[in-house]
Amino acid sequence: MCLCSFAALPVLILGMAPWIPRRFIFEIGLGSWPLWRLPSGDRDVALTFDDGPEPANTEPLLEALEGCGISASFFLTGEKAEKNRDLVRRIRAAGHAVGCHGMSHAPLAFRTRAVLVKEVEDAVDLLEDILGEQIFLYRPAYGVRSPGLYRMLRQQGLRPVFWDVMAYDWREPPAEVLVGRVLRGARDGSIILLHDGNGPRASTIEAIPGIVKGLRDKDMRFVTLS
């Protein structure tokens, strides 16, 4: 490798950092504030759902969760929440936690202050207006983050939430595949990423009973992130 390639390596690494689904350079020293897993020791796991609310997916998902007797955490986009205000209230009334997933699901790596305000602050204000309560949780779209985004989250009193188990349900595999992925990956303290928006989610909804039974068989307890 030539010298110029070595010189470009740090820039390449930093450019990739916001897309890496685990802690990276600019998260050193932040402790447990960016939440990747729950505190271990209580056999707790959290089901989380991104990209909604979408009535065609979210409504049957709420029924599936109710049928299993568990609560989850929903990270909602502002644009969809604005169109489905009653559904947002239903999610919260059912005992689920609600967090912000940005206004338009745009990736926020190294964006201007104006973009961050629109995507984060405006979306949080909208959700708080709908629910009449403060929003504390924020999940960056695609898991993308940057120091500038983290500064804004600190200023807004928001905690960034990520995951340690990803089922890849946006690829729409059969339900049994999703169940297997979650059961293989989940452990004490896991935050499990699933979706109720941006595509058909019939397999995700169908997988819920199997996921719940499988984790309960491992003595896991379902909690919300609130």
Report the alpha-carbon distance of residue 214 to residue 49 in Å, rounded: 19
Question: What's the confidence (pLDDT) of residue 3?
Answer: 41
User: Is the pLDDT at 33 greater than 80, yes or no?
Assistant: yes
Contacts of residue 78, Cβ cutoff 8 Å, sequence gap at least 6: 100, 102, 103, 104, 122, 123, 126, 127
Q: Which of 37, 49, 34, 43 is nearest to 197 (CA)?
A: 49
pLDDT for res 115: 87
Catalytic residue among 42, 50, 122, 219: 50
User: What's residue 9's pLDDT?
Assistant: 43
Residue-level pLDDT at 110? 76
Q: Two tokens at 45?
A: 């796991």
User: Which pLDDT tens digit goes with each residue over 164-189?
Assistant: 999 999 999 999 999 999 999 999 99
* Predicted pLDDT of residue 15: 55
pLDDT of 23 reads: 72
**What's the CA angle centered on 141, arms 136 and 147, to 5 degrees?**
75
Q: What is the mean pLDDT of the chain?
A: 90
Give me the residue label for tokens 């379902």. 222
pLDDT (tens digit per residue) in 80-138: 999 999 999 999 999 999 999 999 988 777 778 888 888 999 999 999 999 999 999 99
The CATH T-level fold of domain 34-222 is TIM Barrel (3.20.20)
> In the annotation, is 217 catalytic?
no
Q: Is 195 a catalytic residue?
A: yes
The confidence band for 17, taking pLDDT boundaries of 50, 70 and 90, is: low
- β-strands 221-222, 191-195 pairing: unpaired
| pLDDT of the residue at 16 | 54
Residue 21 binned pLDDT confidence (cut-offs 50, 70, 90): low
Whether this model's pTM surpasses 0.75: yes
Residues 183, 210: Cα–Cα separation, whole Å: 9
Task: Bin 25: left if φ > 0, else alpha if -120 < ψ < 50, else beta.
Answer: alpha
In the chain, pLDDT over 90 holds for what percent of residues?
A: 73
d(CA 226, CA 78): 19
pLDDT of residue 6: 44
The residue annotated as part of the active site, out of 164, 169, 195, 196, is 195
